[in-house]
Amino acid sequence: MKVTILHGNIVSAPELGKLDITENGYLVAEDGIIVGVYETLPEKYAGCEVEDYGDKLVFQTFSDMHLHAPQYAMLGMGMDMPLIDWLNTYTFPTEAHFADTEMARKIYKQLAHELIANGTTRVVMFSSLHRESTLILMEELEKAGVTGYVGKVNMDRNGGENYQETTEESMEETIKWLEQCNFEHIKPIITPRFTPTCTNELMAFLGKLAKEKNLPIQSHLSENTGELAWVAELHPECKQYWETYDIYDLWNDKTVMAHCVWSDERERKAIKDAGVWIAHCGDSNLNLISGYMPVREMLNEGLRVTLGSDIAGGDRLSMFAVTASTIRGSKARRIMDNWQSEFLSVPEGYYLGTSAAAEFFGEKPGFAAGNPLHAIVLTDDKLPAVRELTVQERFERCIYRRQPDAVQVVWSAGRKVYTAE
Amino acid sequence: MKVTILHGNIVSAPELGKLDITENGYLVAEDGIIVGVYETLPEKYAGCEVEDYGDKLVFQTFSDMHLHAPQYAMLGMGMDMPLIDWLNTYTFPTEAHFADTEMARKIYKQLAHELIANGTTRVVMFSSLHRESTLILMEELEKAGVTGYVGKVNMDRNGGENYQETTEESMEETIKWLEQCNFEHIKPIITPRFTPTCTNELMAFLGKLAKEKNLPIQSHLSENTGELAWVAELHPECKQYWETYDIYDLWNDKTVMAHCVWSDERERKAIKDAGVWIAHCGDSNLNLISGYMPVREMLNEGLRVTLGSDIAGGDRLSMFAVTASTIRGSKARRIMDNWQSEFLSVPEGYYLGTSAAAEFFGEKPGFAAGNPLHAIVLTDDKLPAVRELTVQERFERCIYRRQPDAVQVVWSAGRKVYTAE
């Protein structure tokens, strides 16, 4: 049995708004599975090697619950355009390039490294239409130490000339892709891009496939009002957007829906009843001026809200930045709500970026016993201060601000996957 | 005569919304003063040495028109508190520590370096109450290559027990400080913190002083509604907040007012009539949930809108980040305005962060002939792309996203002040 012991100031979020801080503590794992967090090291580990991080901070890693891998190549571009123009001018043409597997290899390798270097060890991710490049993406993530789910995207309508499959191609390639997926930490997820780009026939096929193979599902829901109108036009038989997924068995407690900006009371009830996961992508909501998700209201209603960078609608891959941005966004939302909704505190933002998705990955919130060890070791020794700071203050500052070499070590599923140079 | 020639892809903002892009161009200065930007090098410079930056980008540097130097030590902390609690719990106690000149030296040296390393070469900055530390701040900025204005803060009421001067002290120390200011590129600016912390007697003294010595002025205006109510209570003789500055001659075309979130039509007219400069601090507005300045409306009205990081109400010192954030903020404002106000484009954001303040510093917008040479050289050679990007796309991406060693060289007032390691 391999024992791993991290020593440092350990900060975890066991529930929304609550921080567990163990100063000078020990985070212990056996064979990569967390046993506990201790103020003093239990005697049974007395002879074991300790990874001593001294006064450094030990955080949970982040889960990025919605991002588009090929759009990594266009991060921070085309942001003056509204959603549909941006999709047609930037996004689809960029994704089309990933037919080139050599290019895919190079760009996905860089993406995987940047994720790990920023402490993102779990993802729920869109690839492109291309089976081969999707497998390359999964391989590069696996090699870098990222865990989670990746989906080959399906779209057989409204993709433009150069970026669309026939219904038959889409089905065949998806089946082939699933047969070829063989990774330890990166698993497949069924990925209809969104209702407007998938025919009913394709949706029905994907729903059936997800059910048969017991696979999770990801897509987009109620991002902006133009999209809502388009979906209503395409599906006069459905009262609301979510039903276009539900009627095809693409709506259950293993479904992640990005955005949900415009989900009204009825749609939110359907989300709750089905146990659907929400990936809140605040940067993207603002960059594309989609509206802004009422994050507090949804939390109050008991919905399962997680965070996504949504690159490249979002312009930042680091989930530290996304967490800070989500907090700031909740404050913008408070202003929009005429100061009637509460903002997210820093501990709440951290919970949403880390623990909120735990159950989706079959885990418990925080550094709970039984979870695989995912941890970031952070240093802040070059940041100025006028007095000694508490660990909570240092924690809070690290969410907002990190020195260039802040991320020192990253552990993912029990393995040390990153060490700062 | 010393000739400086920068060769690269030169991007400047000569007016709001307009970009001048000279690919493979030459930016020429004589004795540190810009002569022009050329597609081919004029013959008269044929024998001169060229700083050849190849395919790199040459940007204007940024002007940070509102920030609090001592709050650099608390950047990213206490952000779950509203303005007045945050001031009393974090800000005033932090600033009080700057009585310690040794600490001030260390922290201000780091601040000055971080400003330059991020391409901020012009500032309008608050120090603390302390004369000596303010002089140290000015010296460290001067040494690092930052130019602009720094003010010793005045406050003789409502500062709390440990952070307040008597009226007499405040006056005497200000006079002494002005006598001791002797820097080439960093000049003094009169700095009543804001109306609630300055007695009428002190305000009258500062207005008189500014007038006599022809000094610029900086303060805060209409940041949040609680503050507005407080000012109204303190000054029943004034109809509006701005008048509390105006009656003491602290309101003219060399005055920079931070925030102006709640300035209504009448106050905005007073701003315009006096030629007062607005420092828009969007990050701070959101972090402290003050409200959000209607930036487009103010630009449409012809007001002089510039940008400030407002550390530590803002949590980011880099004006690249502040510019991206200002654009995003204008989109939040568009949502708040029910899609009735226009957002800022990337070229507009860049203009606000760079050229908008030119006249305040006695210059013209863009890389205009006659301006001192301020320029940032940026590389983006490690950022991925699926095709060759235009210079405008690369420019836009650099506003949103930069690789770790992106800032390669910084020029300030004709001098090369930073080179990446």
pLDDT in tens, A24-33: 999 999 999 9
Q: What is the ipTM of this complex?
A: 0.97
The parts of chain B modelled with pLDDT lower than 70 are none
CATH 2.30.40.10 domain locations along chain A = 3-61+365-419
Question: How close A401 gets to chain B, by Cα (Å)?
Answer: 6
All residues of chain B having their beta carbon less than 8 Å from the beta carbon of residue A404 are 404
Q: Which residue from A minimizes the CA distance to B100?
A: A386
Question: How close A46 gets to chain B, by Cα (Å)?
Answer: 37
Angle (CA) A331-B64-B29 rounded to 5° is 150
CATH number for domain A62-353, candidates 3.20.20.140, 3.60.110.10, 3.30.420.10, 3.40.50.1400: 3.20.20.140
All residues of chain B having their beta carbon less than 8 Å from the beta carbon of residue A386 are 73-74, 94, 97-98, 103, 107
Per the CB < 8 Å rule, is A335 touching B291? yes
Question: How close A289 gets to chain B, by Cα (Å)?
Answer: 6
Angle (CA) A379-A58-A346 rounded to 5° is 90
- Residues B261-274 as b/e (b if ≥16 CB within 10 A, e otherwise) read bbbeeebbebbeeb
Mean of pLDDT values over A11-40 = 98
Provide the phi-psi class of B158: left if phi over 0, else alpha when psi is between -120 and 50, else beta.
left
**Out of B76, B80, B383, closest to residue A345 by CB:** B80
Q: Which residue from B minimizes the CA distance to A315?
A: B400
Q: What is the structure's pLDDT at B160?
A: 77
Q: What is the structure's pLDDT at B158?
A: 93
CATH 3.20.20.140 domain locations along chain A = 62-353
Question: How close A194 gets to chain B, by Cα (Å)?
Answer: 24
Question: How close B74 gets to chain A, by Cα (Å)?
Answer: 7
First to last CA, chain A: 29
Q: What is the structure's pLDDT at A89?
A: 87
Q: What is the structure's pLDDT at B325?
A: 97
Would you say A192 and A215 are in contact if contact means Cβ atoms under 8 Å apart?
no
Q: Which residue from A minimizes the CA distance to B345?
A: A80
Scan for tokens 């989300």, then name that residue. A271
Mean of pLDDT values over A119-136 = 98
Per the CB < 8 Å rule, is B315 touching A393? no
Per the CB < 8 Å rule, is A76 touching B385? no
Per the CB < 8 Å rule, is A334 touching B384? no
Q: Which residue from A minimizes the CA distance to B98?
A: A386
The 3 state secondary structure assigned to chain A is CCEEEEEEEEEEEEECCEEEEEEEEEEEEECCEEEEEECCCCHHHCCCCCEEEEEEEEEECEEEEEEEHHHHHHCCCCCCCCHHHHHHHHHHHHHHHHHCHHHHHHHHHHHHHHHHHCCEEEEEEECCCCHHHHHHHHHHHHHHCCEEEEECEECCCCCCCCCCCCHHHHHHHHHHHHHHCCCCCEEECEEECCHHHCCHHHHHHHHHHHHHHCCCEEEEECCCHHHHHHHHHHCCCCCCCCHHHHCCCCCCCCEEEEECCCCCHHHHHHHHHHCCEEEECHHHHHHCCCCCCCHHHHHHCCCEEEECCCECCECCCCHHHHHHHHHHHHHHHHHHCCCCCCCCCHHHHHHHHCHHHHHHHCCCCCCCCCCECCEEEECCCCCCCCCCCCHHHHHHHHHHCCCCCCEEEEEECCEEEEECC
Most B CBs within 10 Å, among A80, A95, A326, to test the B interface: A80
The overall average pLDDT reported for chain A is 97
Q: What is the structure's pLDDT at B102?
A: 98
Most B CBs within 10 Å, among A94, A115, A311, A335, to test the B interface: A335
Decide if pLDDT at A234 tops 80.
Answer: yes
Report residue A160 as tokens.
Answer: 């433009």
- Report which of A314, A317, A320 is spatially closest to residue A293, judged by C-alpha positions: A314
Q: What is the structure's pLDDT at B39?
A: 98
- Report which of A66, A62, A121 is spatially closest to residue A257, judged by C-alpha positions: A66
Per the CB < 8 Å rule, is A292 touching B332? yes
Per the CB < 8 Å rule, is A97 touching B73? no
Question: How close B51 gets to chain A, by Cα (Å)?
Answer: 28
Question: How close A315 gets to chain B, by Cα (Å)?
Answer: 7
Decide if pLDDT at A82 tops 90.
Answer: no
- Report which of B375, B357, B390, B402 is spatially closest to residue B53, judged by C-alpha positions: B375
Looking at domain B3-61+365-419, its CATH class is mainly beta
Distance (Å, rounded) from C-alpha A351 to C-alpha A15? 7
Q: What is the structure's pLDDT at B162?
A: 86
All residues of chain B having their beta carbon less than 8 Å from the beta carbon of residue A397 are 75-77
Question: How close A81 gets to chain B, by Cα (Å)?
Answer: 9
Per the CB < 8 Å rule, is B75 touching A327? no
All residues of chain B having their beta carbon less than 8 Å from the beta carbon of residue A91 are none
**Out of A75, A289, A387, closest to residue B335 by CB:** A289
Report residue A70 as tokens.
Answer: 């090929």
What is the CB neighbour count within 10 angstroms for residue A250?
A: 27
Would you say B347 and B13 are in contact if contact means Cβ atoms under 8 Å apart?
yes
Would you say B314 and B307 are in contact if contact means Cβ atoms under 8 Å apart?
no
Per the CB < 8 Å rule, is B324 touching A343? no
- Partners of B378 in the beta sheet? B57, B407
Distance (Å, rounded) from C-alpha A115 to C-alpha B136? 41
Per the CB < 8 Å rule, is A346 touching B72? no
Chain A, chain B: beta-carbon pairs less than 8 Å apart: 127
All residues of chain B having their beta carbon less than 8 Å from the beta carbon of residue A389 are 77
Most A CBs within 10 Å, among B316, B331, B395, to test the A interface: B331
All residues of chain B having their beta carbon less than 8 Å from the beta carbon of residue A384 are 72-73, 106-107, 110-111
Mean of pLDDT values over A302-328 = 98
All residues of chain A having their beta carbon less than 8 Å from the beta carbon of residue B73 are 384-386
All residues of chain A having their beta carbon less than 8 Å from the beta carbon of residue B401 are 75-76, 315-316
Q: Which residue from A minimizes the CA distance to B399?
A: A76
Distance (Å, rounded) from C-alpha B259 to C-alpha B282? 8
B178 exposure class (CB count in 10 Å sphere: 0-12, 13-18, 19+): middle
Per the CB < 8 Å rule, is A107 touching B283? no
Question: How close A128 gets to chain B, by Cα (Å)?
Answer: 14
Per the CB < 8 Å rule, is A384 touching B339? no
Q: Which residue from B minimizes the CA distance to A394?
A: B77
Question: How close B215 gets to chain A, by Cα (Å)?
Answer: 31
Per the CB < 8 Å rule, is A335 touching B103? no
